[in-house]
Structure 1
Amino acid sequence: MGNTDLEVGAGYEVFNPPILEMQPGEPNHQLGRFFTVTAVENGGAWVYDGAYESGVSTVFLPADIIVMLRYQKLDKTGETQFAELMTALISSAAAANEQRTLVAAHGTADESVEASHRFFTQFLSGQVKGLAAKGVVNPNLAVVMTELATGVSLA
């Protein structure tokens, strides 16, 4: 597939994600297993695949990198998007409850509740970034959702 096959807003699964050289002074970036195309231009594509050293961002994939990738477009419908969002919430809540149980064994009830709240926001933030990389939610929406969940500004 070439970059002309990439659809803006679509999510893709990559079977051979490469390590990408970034700007001088920045660390190399391992392309994620999933990415969402945010723009196609200048002989390549801008893609979102999660968090970077400097925060939440997109990375430019030149055409010569795109042609080396083995990938497939992910199907998404309203039903699958809803199901993935619900799965993210359910798994985040389950992980937070497990964390509360672990902390309760070694601390106070207040400490365990605080730990579970913190763990929930961290886990859900990771889930939201993953959903954005799969094209389930818009990457800009993922930033807003993460900021609301954690109270930490990513801008």
Structure 2
Amino acid sequence: MANTLEFEVGAGYEVANPPKLAVGDDQPHQLSRFFTVLATDEHGVSVYDGWYGEGFSSLHLPHDVLAQLDVTRLPSRGEAGAADLANAIATSAAAAIERRDQVKEHGAAEQSVHASQRFFVQFFSGQIRGLASKGLINPDLAVQMISLSTGVELAVGE
């Protein structure tokens, strides 16, 4: 059985079998396989799991939900955050170049650069959300990086 005393703010966790949860007006939300603890209180924990509703969103997991989860803390990577970010950029760039080449092969040379830029933004945003949900970078930083890379301002809040 999990409790809030076991959770550390800023740490990343992995959920073995993430359930669907009722959120807001009983809208189902598939809990991600990874989440970062943002805050703990006497009712449970607030987490970030890579989900964007209206921008950056956190999710409160009450004690009864926590008790049902099979959760493992991810090992701290220390200074590896910069390496993870560099890898996310490199992976995203490589995927975007591959996308550009695919579009070019289909005779749309003029559209290939735009397609690769759009693909880079989408791929990079996903990479950043993943790093933040695993506790490898701060979720607030993830929102700022996605806003900078996409030009879309995301609202920060619950």
TM range (shorter): over 0.9
My pick for the range that moved more, 73-82 or 141-150, is 73-82
Partner residue of 2:99? Answer: 99
Partner residue of 2:114? Answer: 114
Partner residue of 1:149? Answer: 149
Identical amino acids, percent of aligned pairs = 51
Deviations 1:71-119 (A, max 9, x none): 1111123343233222211210111011001111224433111111111
Deviations 1:6-55 (A, max 9, x none): 0000000110211110122x521010000000000132000000123333
Rounded Cα–Cα distance in structure 2 between residues aligned with 1:106 and 1:92? 21
Partner residue of 1:136? Answer: 136
Rounded Cα–Cα distance in structure 2 between residues aligned with 1:8 and 1:152? 28
Residues 3 and 67 of structure 1 are in contact (CA less than 8 Å); yes or no, is this contact kept in structure 2? no
Deviations 1:54-78 (A, max 9, x none): 3320000001111111111111233
Partner residue of 2:29? Answer: 29
Rounded Cα–Cα distance in structure 2 between residues aligned with 1:30 and 1:108? 38
Instruction: Please report the TM-score for the alignment, with normalisation by the length of structure 1.
Output: 0.92
Rounded Cα–Cα distance in structure 2 between residues aligned with 1:53 and 1:79? 30
Partner residue of 1:87? Answer: 87
Paired residue secondary structure (1:68): coil
Instruction: Please report the TM-score for the alignment, with normalisation by the length of structure 2.
Output: 0.91
Paired residue secondary structure (1:135): coil
Rounded Cα–Cα distance in structure 1 between residues aligned with 2:108 and 2:30? 40
Partner residue of 1:4? Answer: 5
Residues 54 and 154 of structure 2 are in contact (CA less than 8 Å); yes or no, is this contact kept in structure 1? no
Runs of 4+ off more than 6 Å: none
Q: Gaps (5+ residues) in structure 2?
A: none
Q: Gaps (5+ residues) in structure 1?
A: none
Instruction: Kindly tell me the number of residue pairs found equivalent between the two proteins.
Output: 154
Q: Please tell me the root mean square deviation across aligned C-alpha atoms, in Å.
A: 1.4
Residues 14 and 69 of structure 1 are in contact (CA less than 8 Å); yes or no, is this contact kept in structure 2? yes
- Displacement, 1:132? 0.4
Rounded Cα–Cα distance in structure 1 between residues aligned with 2:45 and 2:79? 28
